[in-house]
Every structure is written in structure tokens, then in C-alpha cells.
Amino acid sequence: MSSPSRIFTAVLEDSELMAEVRERSKKALAAHRPILDANEIALAPADYRAAMEGRALPDADAQDYSEAIVLLDGRPSLLVRNDSFEEPELEYWQTRLNPSRAVLESALRSVGRVELTGHTTYEWVGTAWVIGDRLVATNRHVANVFAQGRGQGFVFRPSPLGGSLTARIDFKEEYQTGAIKEVPVTRVLYIAPDEPGQPDMAVLELGTADELPGPVQLAASSRIDGPVAVVGYPAWDSRNGEDAMRNIFRDIYDVKRLAPGYLMPAASATDIQHNCSTLGGNSGSAVLDVQTGAAVGLHFGGRFRTANFAVKAEVIRSVLDRLPASRPGIAVPGGTASEAPTAASLAGREGYRPDFLGTGRRVRLPILSSAQEDDAVSVPGRDDFVLAYTHFSVVMCRSRRLCYFTAVNIDGNQSLNLRRADNWFLDPRIPADTQSGNELYRNNNLDRGHMVRRLDPVWGSPAVAKAANNDTFFYTNSCPQHANLNQRTWNDLEDYILNNTDQRNLKVSVFTGPVLAAADPVYRGTRIPLDYWKVVVMVKTDGKLSATAYMLTQRNLQDDFEAPFVFGPFRTYQVPIARVENATGLSFGNLSDFDPLAGTEAAAPAPARELTTASDLVL
């Protein structure tokens, strides 16, 4: 009888996992359903029951077959579609993966396939993932296929077809989606020497691209006790048994997958071992801490169903530290959020300052109605419902699980332009069930629309600006907006405000939020706001305050958030502040006194000004 693989043994030793695998298998046998597909060899029910009960099996074939069944459930490889991994069949993995979907799916968007042009054998050679500003990590043996050392640097290898080989990273290549998101590799910054003690690692620089995925953050330590997940592109591998691969991968190869498992005890000074299900195309995959989404390692090889190896996060960091200092943007801790924040880590945030615009120009937060106060989310240690972040604040509505409003201070004289983080988190200071997480945005045309624009609070010292950048990626600061609304119209207004602030070195305070109407349509258990508003307060060049209000609607976009979108007519309006108050139930105090559109709103509705160009704004 063949001896069980080390991964098989690890699964057998997990009593909770094995209990569910055995129960699932017993039900399948009782229903006379095949355990695997029809292409697999049959196993006598008595032998299978023996395996599920931990008893020895009479022959090697039976042992191998039972191992395949256990691995199919115990160490699955989950397909990724539309930046989301499929639901695991076992409750064991559902309970471990689903609470971390937001951080895992943020990270998996940053993993891509290394594709080649000009190579006569390979169309693609492995996996890579974003580790910094236009930087990706992969394996030495992957990069060596298309690049080589020359002098003090690296060049692309010559192509047999003429010229040089070229490489690109496709951040899609998902099962049955057909989506493509390719970014060219423009430079090879580092390939580790192929000698003992050196990591199987390379660092590549990418060309510019719109909305390049944010970096996967490095874990502070590769030593974790919880589950890990490998994200990459497993390929059919002739070195492994075809039946065994079919059991886990179902003859679907070359597409993005997430494979959960655990770290194994054995490790070296540079490497860790894990027991996730991987194949040859996984070379260069990210090994993620399931709880935080941070990378604990860079997968580089192993033996199928035995053990896999990865470069430790600590070693990756040491390589990045040795890269030329002139190459900025490495995603080491301190740049963007690498782990799910704790309530303690958010202590001391000052939040929105009413006195930000100067002496005698105090602009208070909007005032909730009594009904809104009854439905507001309480914040520990405060009596005003305010969640304070770096340079901005948020007040949440419990029943809608969205914000009533956000408030931000912008200092154009100190603004910095930092790369987006793109790792979204629930705020640990308030209950998770009072927030709308990634379950609302997965596999549809809804964007996580920033209420506080990402760059608005990003000013001050580099450390403070980084904290503000990261703080804008809490789900408390997002509302569901159709992708075209977010990208085409709302940002036009925000860009104009921010750009003019920078040019004049003005200070500005901005309030933003959704109109939470009772008639809003319900989608995935959440009412989707159809209207949004913004109130901008600034000091004009003559020293006087200006307070202007804007409303934008996506009512024409409500038909089907999961269907292909056909862009229809909708408009952005400048409106009197009183109209925002009527629509939201909020009070903005005396700001209407500084509103150029204020007038006879009480007697007759003041006209709304349609905004088609920046010149239409009245400030």
C-alpha cells in the first residue's frame, strides 16, 4: 500500500475538517452518488467507508483513491471570476474564508499571469503580484525565461523570431469571463543569483496603466497560526498524475484560482512550507494570510500533494530594501494598510475640524434629526456618533448600513499625491452588521464609491498623508454607485474642486453623502441610494465664506446592477443648500447665509443649475 502524502496526512489530522469530509462522503454513499466524476476509477463502498473511518485499506489503488477524495474537499482550488473566488463546498472553508472575503478579494485583484510575446514555446510562464508602485514580484526561474543578466543590470532575452522577448502581466485571465487587463513589463529590476541561500525571486517594473491594482502588502512576519491561501494560475503539469490533478482542478487550468491550506512546521532561514493545492503555473504566486490578506510568502515550487515552498515575507522585504533608493513606491509596511486595522490602531484620529477655515469661520458638522439620531451608530467613547479618521469624519446610519454624511478638511497647500491603497476594511470600532462590506459589491456593476474622495484628506507630513490615504478605504466611507456614475460624473466635480484648491492653495471643507430615501430600490438586502449630494465650504479671495451645494442622480441606472450597462442621460446640478436639507433631513446650520443660490427657497423653489462645464459653477 502506498504511503499517504504529507498533505493528506495533514488533512487527516485536522479533526474538524475530517468530520465534515466523512459526513459529506457518507451522505454521498447513502444516496448512491459517485464520489468523483465518471472518469475516475471505482472504489468499493466498504473500502471507502474504511478510509473515512481511518482504517487501513487493502490495496494501493484504494488508498490513492480515498486520498484524492479527501484532498478534493480538504484542499480545494477555487476558481476566480470577476475578482471573486467561488463559494467553497465545505462549511469548514466557508467559515474561514468568507469572513475575510474583502481583504482576500482586494489582494487577488493584484495577482496576474506572466505572459510572453516572441517565445516559440511558452505563451505564459507563471504568476506575479503587485508589491509597490508599478512593481511586481515573481520567481527567478520565471523571469529567467525571458530575461538575463548583463553587466550590472538585466535585459530581455533575444527572440528566435527576431528582436527581443517581451513580457506583460494580465491581472484577469479568469474562468469563462474573457476579461483582459494587460500591463507591459518595461524593466527587470532584480533577479536573485541562482546559488545556495538566495531566494527564488525577481522584481519587475510595469508600464503606466490606468487603475493598476494596488499592492499586496507584506505581512510583518511569516509565522502565522491561521489558514493561508495561494492565489495564482495552476497549469496542467505532466510531472503529476493526471487523475490526481483532475480530482482537484477538474481539468480547468491556466486561470486564476485561490487555494486555501495551512503553513507546515518545516521551514528554513529563507523559506516556509505550505500545503495548499498548487501546480507548475503557480510559480510566483502570493501566499496570503487569510485573516489579513497580507502576503506571508512568494510561492516557488514543491511536490504535488506533498509540500510546497515559498520565500518568506521577511526575505522579500530584505530584497526590496536593497533595491536602488531612487526607485520609490515599494509597498513595505507604512505605505498602505497591510493588515486589518484594530480599534486600538485607530485611536487618536482627530477627524474633521470645525475651525479648519480659520478664526471666526467655524463650520460645524451637519446636525441629525431626532429620528436620525435614533438610527445612528454609536461609537465607543463618544456621544456624538462621529467616527474620526485622519482629516475627515463619518456618521453612520444603522438601518441602512451606509453613512448619513462624511466631512473632510482639505489643505491644498500641503496636498500629496500618493498611490491608492485599494485594500478595503470594515471599521473595527463599530459592529460589522452596521456596515456594508464587499458582499454588496461583488460580481456586479456597483463601485465602492468614495464619499470622501481618496486624495482630499491626503495632506500634511508623509506619515500623516499615508494614514489619511489608508483611512479612505474603510467601508464606512463607501456607498454603492454604478461604475459609470463614479468614474464619469461625480469625479468631474470632485476633480474640479480639488484641483482649484491646489492651484489657489485654499483650504476647503466638504460634506458628502447619499440621500437615504425610503423608496430606494433593494439589492442584496441593501437599499441602494439613487441620489448623492455634496456641500463645499471655502474662503473666497475676498475673505468671505462661500457655501455651495450639488446633487447628482443615478435614477436611470437602477434597472439591473448585474446586467451590461447602457449609459443614459443624467445630470449634475448645483442647488441651494436648503434643497439638500429637505432631501436628507440634515441641518447645515447657517451655511445657507453664504450660499450664492439661496434666495426665496421657502416661498418658491430656487432654480437648480445644470453643470455641464466648470464655468457653470457659482462659488
Q: What is the four-CA torsion angle of 491, 482, 174, 117, rounded to 10 degrees? A: -30
**Cβ-based burial of 428 (10 A; exposed 0-12, middle 13-18, buried ≥19):** middle
Q: What are phi and psi of 267, to 5 degrees?
A: -160, 165
**What is the 3-state composition of the chain as percent helix, strand, coil, each rounded to the nearest 5?**
25, 25, 45
DSSP line for 388-425:
E-SSEEEEEETTTTEEEEEEEEEEGGGB--PPP----B
Beta-sheet strands, E only, within 45-152: 78-81, 84-85, 111-117, 124-132, 135-138, 147-150
Does an H or E element contain 16, and which? helix 15-30
Q: Which of 274, 299, 391, 450 is catalytic?
A: 450
Q: Provide the residue type at 277 as one letter.
A: S
250 CB-near residues (< 8 Å, 6+ apart) = 37
Distance from chain centroid for Cα 565: 23
Q: Are 539 and 507 in contact (CB under 8 A)?
A: yes
Q: How far apart are CA 550 and CA 611, in angstroms?
A: 9
For residue 39, what are the contacts with CB-CB under 8 A and spacing of at least 6?
243, 246
Beta strands in 21-156 (DSSP E): 78-81, 84-85, 111-117, 124-132, 135-138, 147-150, 153-156
Is there a catalytic annotation at residue 32?
no
CA contacts within 13 A on the Cβ side of 118 = 16
Give the integer Cα–Cα distance in Å for 67 and 244.
Answer: 9
Q: Is 282 annotated as a binding residue?
A: no
For residue 167, what is the enclosing H or E element? strand 166-170
Helix (H, G, I), strand (E, B) or coil at 376: strand
Please report the DSSP string for 521-578 in residue order. Answer: PEETTEEPP-EEEEEEEEE-TTS-EEEEEEEEE-GGG-S-TTSPP------EEEE-HH
Q: How far is it between the farthest Cα atoms of the chain?
A: 92
Cα Rg, the chain, nearest whole Å: 27
- Write the CA distances from 590 to 8, 361, 459, 599, 605, integer angstroms: 69, 11, 28, 14, 19
How is residue 267 written as a grid cell?
Answer: 521551514
Centre a 10 Å sphere on the Cβ of residue 50 and count the other Cβ atoms it contains.
16
Q: Are 100 and 290 in contact (CB under 8 A)?
A: yes
| CB-based contact 205:134 (threshold 8 Å) | yes
Annotated binding-site members for Mg(2+) = 486
Annotated binding-site members = 486
Residue positions annotated with a catalytic role? 450
